[in-house]
């Protein structure tokens, strides 16, 4: 279906899109920092829907077609101080981002869903499972972490680019995106520069916000350590992480899997901090397999094996 917008609270509207049959079990796809829903490609969403799911992707607040909170200022000095361990106020929390997602589910009439989250989206998905476990059937956490500062750290080589002042022009944003892909993308599974450029142009045109990136970054840096709460989860969980991820070190994925009893950990050699289409079959199989471990789903006859490691 075409993009739609829904009010999920007094001051937040969320832009979303769905794939598949409304009667099928729902899978909510939650994207990461500064990334609109289109970073879950249409091809990937349709592949998941073909397994018998209603797939929902959406723009978090401060991205894409969703509400931008321009009145809530965050400066780069706030980001640096929080990164160094100083307590600084955040314009909103990961829990509030989780609340937006629950509001979207409420509006769509979905009481219980499977969750898939990447990077910051994984943090949001973990928080949703912790705060409202009765509404979560399964969780797939991709290239994310627990919130504990001693795991899932960022490689120092990224800091100059991440903290550089953004030039608010389309061309500058595209060049920055190409540079970031070079830094965090999967060398083993390269993404064509034209595809990266086209995605960056679409992201900018749909409503990229430099100040929104800072607000999301502050929310991420201010998140709590979820390790103890993750240990209490009683649902199927799969953790996927690239062994070459410079944005969130693989220790973040290992720690997430270690925290959740009975979770599956898939460590992928050569994968960085992206979603290369060469690995779509692996991602789809893992998401489907995890969902079908729940009592909400019947066994599948169309899953194939994927490499996993504990």
The pLDDT confidence band at residue 296, using thresholds 50, 70 and 90, is low
Alpha carbon 179 to its chain centroid, in Å, reads 21
Choice between 84 and 23, residue whose per-residue pLDDT is larger:
23
Where do the domains of the chain lie, and which CATH numbers do they carry?
4-292 (3.40.50.1820)
Over residues 198-255, the pLDDT tens digits come to: 999 999 999 999 999 999 999 999 999 999 999 999 999 999 999 999 999 999 999 9
Over residues 5-21, the pLDDT tens digits come to: 999 998 999 999 999 99
- pTM to 2 decimals? 0.93
Alpha carbon 119 to its chain centroid, in Å, reads 4
Query: Does residue 163 register a pLDDT over 90?
Result: no
- Interatomic CA distance for residues 151 and 225, integer angstroms: 10
Average pLDDT over residues 277-287: 98
- Interatomic CA distance for residues 174 and 154, integer angstroms: 22
pLDDT (0 to 100) of residue 165: 81
- Interatomic CA distance for residues 200 and 179, integer angstroms: 11
CB 149 within 8 A of CB 60: no
- Interatomic CA distance for residues 278 and 276, integer angstroms: 5
CB 233 within 8 A of CB 136: no
Average pLDDT over residues 46-58: 98
Average pLDDT over residues 86-94: 89
Find all residues with CB under 8 Å of 238, minimum gap 6, and list them: 138, 139, 140, 141, 263, 264, 265, 266, 286, 287, 289, 290
Q: Name the pairing type of β-strands 4-7 and 13-19.
A: antiparallel
pLDDT (0 to 100) of residue 298: 57
Query: Does residue 174 register a pLDDT over 70?
Result: yes
């Amino acid at each position: 279906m075409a993009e739609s917008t829904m009010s999920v609270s007094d001051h937040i509207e969320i832009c979303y899109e769905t794939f598949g049959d409304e009667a099928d079990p729902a899978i909510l796809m939650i994207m990461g920092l500064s990334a609109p829903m289109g970073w879950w490609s249409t091809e990937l969403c349709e592949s998941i829907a073909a397994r018998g799911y209603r797939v929902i992707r959406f723009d978090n607040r401060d991205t894409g077609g969703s509400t931008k909170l321009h009145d809530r200022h965050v400066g780069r000095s706030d980001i640096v101080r929080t990164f160094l361990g100083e307590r600084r106020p955040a314009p909103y929390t990961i829990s509030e981002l989780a609340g937006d997602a629950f509001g979207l589910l409420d509006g769509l009439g979905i009481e219980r869903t499977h969750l898939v989250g990447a990077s910051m989206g994984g943090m949001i998905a973990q928080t949703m499972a912790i705060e409202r476990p009765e509404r979560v059937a399964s969780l797939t956490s991709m290239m994310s972490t627990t919130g504990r500062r001693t795991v899932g750290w960022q490689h120092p080589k990224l800091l100059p680019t991440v903290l550089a002042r953004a030039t608010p022009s389309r061309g500058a944003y595209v060049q920055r995106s190409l540079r970031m892909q070079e830094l965090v993308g999967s060398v083993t599974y390269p993404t064509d520069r034209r595809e990266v450029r086209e995605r960056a142009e679409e992201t900018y045109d749909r409503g990229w916000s430099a100040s929104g990136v800072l607000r999301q970054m502050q929310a991420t840096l201010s998140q709590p350590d979820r390790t103890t709460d993750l240990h209490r989860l009683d649902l199927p969980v799969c953790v996927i992480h690239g062994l070459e991820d410079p944005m969130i070190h693989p220790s973040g994925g290992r720690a997430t899997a270690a925290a959740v009893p009975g979770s599956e950990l898939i460590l992928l050699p050569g994968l960085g901090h992206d979603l290369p289409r060469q690995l779509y079959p692996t991602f789809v199989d893992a998401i489907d397999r995890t969902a079908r471990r729940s009592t909400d789903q019947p066994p599948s006859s169309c899953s194939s094996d994927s490499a996993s490691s504990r």
